[in-house]
A and B are shown apart, each in its own frame.
Chain A
Amino acid sequence: MTATATPPVTEQQTPVAGPRRKYDAERLFNRVALGVLVAFSLLWLVPLAWALATSIRPAQEVITDPTSWFTAHPTLAAYGDIFDAGKLPYWYANSFITSILTTVLTVVAGSLAAFALSQTRFRARRVAFVMLLAGIMIPGQVLMIPQFLALQEAGLLNTYWGVVLPQVPNVVAVFVFKQFFDGIPRELIDAARADGASWLRTYRQIVMPISRPVISAVTIFVFVGVWNNFLWPLLVVTDPEMMTLPVGLTSVQDVFGVPYAQLMASAVLGAIPLLAVFALFQRRIVEGIAGTGLK
């Protein structure tokens, strides 16, 4: 299921039987294909490149010639402004803390539940599984009002827990774990159980250590999802020192209004951590999405 091997269909390897005309058609097609791909991928990089280019231009230059790509006087002044105006270090820290907390809770609670559903046998197991399945159909955003009221009641507005708790029941994560656990050889579990290990111990010492790939895949996509969440922290957090990065960045926009160098600097500062995660874990992210059992 997991997509590890790269498929071997290439220009050179595609065997083409038949006359020379066929071969030419193949080559022509490949040229056109490459042209289309390169054109689109460059188009896709334009917004990123332009944001970066604008962010290092002096503000005055952006005003006089906004669409230019190059500057003779690159400067980090816009970044300095953002740091001075906002509470950027807080926002980074808040995003980091809430994302870590949510990820840990999701991985622990989700994998435990998935293990119970996959390996143990108890009466209500099927019912529990169907109920969980139904949960995939519930669009979380539609529930924001009662979730907000519950947290307000509990006095958790403007706290980390207020941001974290409602994001923990991640049904997709449970499914991804269950998919993986279902593939673990039955004998391995039986052997541990026969040796007298409790279910909890079997989970902790046998199952979790061999589940590293699925744990890291879930970790990355939950982390990125929580880090990027906008609507929920927007509702729960009003105190600027408790804001997460995405919410904080929009408040910078309110402060600066038009100056585009500062806007693009905030965009770059918001993008860097995620692009770094992406660059480091590109394979895992892509495999995680591709091999979640969704297909």
Chain B
Amino acid sequence: MATTTAPTKAPGRGDRWAGPGMLLPFSLFYLLFLVGPLIYTVVAGFFDTSLLKSGLGDFAGLSNYSAVLGDSEFWRTLKNTLWFTVLTTVPLVLLSLTLAILADRFVRGRWFFRFAFFAPFVLPSAVVALMFTFIYADQVGLAQQAATWVGVDTPPSWLGDPDWAMISIAAATVWWTLGFNFVLYLAGLQDIPRSVHEAAAIDGAGPWQRIRHVVVPMLGRTTTLVTVLQVVASLKVFDQIYMLTNGGPDGSTRSSLQLIYDTGFVEGRVGYASTVSLLLFVVILLVSLVWFALVRRAEKER
């Protein structure tokens, strides 16, 4: 830009555009693939946009919103998604916290625990789905066999029973993603100074008391982070459900994202799907904001 005006390079002159220039490539991607689509989603929600015709289609006002909000399928998929979120977040926080605290006591074996818990996390969802298709299969699957070994005479059809399908998918998800939270907790544990442990031990606190009154409270920030990340990730569930049950049986595992996928790409109702997208976006945003607000208040009161 100002190359010709600067015969000798004076710092600060001639590179007013260096910062914006270096920001430019990323900004282009950011605008094209995040901001632009977000605006389109907001706009398309007010139109009867169809995948089959180009352009936005007829102006629909708020009719998409009234249609979505009055659609029992929208509320059911939202309920399914929230149920999945509860089923995964609670064990994924508590179990990873427990296992990380226990593993932190053993320096020598830790690589093994880290491998065992973390290795599933790097697998593609397609691989996880293939494995659990067999594990959850009726008659021949390992899960039903295991149930009979522990004395259940007629184990349920894990993916075929509407009462069990979501629980089974959640269990597979816990197996798959626990390692991520486990590692975050291990990192949080490393930030606790050794002197804290020693002081508590000298004061006569047993291992259980030290964990309850020292370690867990000091992991508060990590727990906040892990919980929010987990809730947001769970609200966006799609892959494993799509591949394991495709939303069935009887729509009992159909998630919000799958409703968007089905109405948008299978039925081609882009306007309707955009409205659902936006509402799901708002739900995700609200959950994270409410959570952060609660945490801030709790931290101030402490």
Chain A: residues with CB nearer than 8 A to chain B? 3, 5-11, 14-18, 22, 25-26, 29-30, 33-34, 36-37, 40-42, 44-48, 50-51, 54, 66-67, 105, 108-110, 112-113, 115-117, 120-122, 124-125, 128, 132, 135, 137-150, 165-166, 168-169, 171, 174, 193-194, 196, 198-200, 203, 224, 227-228, 230-231, 235, 245-247, 249-250, 253, 260, 263-264, 266-267, 270-271, 274-275, 277-278, 282, 285-286, 289-291, 294-295
- Among A165, A203, A235, the residue within 8 A (CB) of B33 is A165
Contacts of A291 in B (CB 8 A): 187
Q: Is B213 an interface residue, CB under 8 A from the partner?
A: no
Also in contact, A112 and B22, with CB within 8 A (given A17-B201, A263-B133, A294-B225): yes
Contact residues of B between 203 and 219, Cβ < 8 Å to A: 204, 206-208
Bound form: Cα–Cα A137–B289 in Å: 10
Which residues 268-293 in B have Cβ within 8 Å of A in the complex? 270, 273-274, 277-278, 280-281, 284-285, 288
Closest 9 CB pairs of A and B: A290-B187, A120-B19, A41-B116, A66-B140, A146-B37, A113-B26, A122-B19, A246-B126, A146-B40
Given contacts A67-B145, A112-B22, contact A33 B175 (CB under 8 A): no
- A187, B244: Cα distance in complex, Å: 56
Bound Cα distance A5, B189 (Å): 12
CB-CB under 8 A for A199 and B198, given A44-B175, A116-B23, A270-B124: no
- On chain B, which size bracket covers the interface? 35 or more
Give bound CA distance, A6 to B27, whole Å: 39
A168-B238 contact in complex given A139-B284, A230-B126, C-beta closer than 8 Å: no
Contacts of B278 in A (CB 8 A): 142
Pick 10 A–B contacts, CB within 8 A, sort by A: A22-B204, A29-B206, A33-B106, A120-B15, A125-B19, A142-B280, A169-B29, A267-B131, A274-B122, A285-B122
Seed contacts A3-B186, A25-B207, A295-B184; 17 additional CB < 8 Å A-B pairs: A7-B107, A9-B194, A16-B201, A26-B206, A29-B206, A34-B109, A37-B113, A66-B140, A113-B23, A165-B29, A230-B239, A253-B243, A263-B133, A264-B130, A267-B130, A282-B111, A289-B183
Output the nearest chain B residue to A21 by Cβ-Cβ distance. B206
> In the complex, A124→B22 CA distance in Å?
13
Near A by CB (< 8 A), chain B positions 104-153 give: 104-120, 122-127, 129-135, 137, 139-142, 145
Contact A67 B142 (CB under 8 A): yes
Q: Does B99 contact A (CB under 8 A)?
A: yes
User: Do the beta carbons of B187 and A228 come within 8 Å of each other?
Assistant: no
Interface string of B17-32 (1 = CB under 8 A from A): 1111111011101101
When distances are taken between beta carbons in the complex, the residues of chain B under 8 Å from A50 are 131, 134-135, 142
Decide if B222 is an interface residue (CB 8 Å cutoff).
yes
Assess whether B22 is in contact with A7, with CB atoms less than 8 Å apart. no
Q: Which residues of B contact A122 (CB under 8 A)?
A: 16-20
Q: Knowing A109-B26, A120-B19, A270-B130, say if A44 contacts B36 (CB, 8 Å).
A: no
Given contacts A30-B105, A166-B33, A271-B123, contact A142 B26 (CB under 8 A): no
Q: Is the CB of A290 within 8 A of B18?
A: no
**Nearest residue in B to A25 (C-beta to C-beta)?**
B206
Q: Is A41's CB under 8 angstroms from B117's CB?
A: yes
Are A146's CB and B36's CB within 8 A?
Answer: yes
Which residues of B line the A interface, CB within 8 A? 9, 11, 15-23, 25-27, 29-30, 32-38, 40-41, 44, 51, 98-99, 102-120, 122-127, 129-135, 137, 139-142, 145, 175, 178, 180, 183-184, 186-192, 194, 197-198, 201-202, 204, 206-208, 221-222, 225, 229, 232, 235-236, 238-239, 242-243, 257, 260-261, 264-265, 270, 273-274, 277-278, 280-281, 284-285, 288
Cα A264 to Cα B133 with chains together (Å): 10
Given A125-B19, A168-B33, A200-B22, the answer on whether A139 and B236 have CB atoms closer than 8 Å is: yes
Q: Knowing A199-B15, A246-B126, A267-B130, say if A142 contacts B116 (CB, 8 Å).
A: no
CB proximity of B189 to chain A, nearest CB, Å? 7
> How many whole Å from B291's CB to the nearest CB in chain A?
13
Among B9, B184, B265, the residue within 8 A (CB) of A196 is B9
On whether A137 and B285 interact (CB within 8 A), knowing A15-B198, A228-B124, A267-B127, the answer reads yes
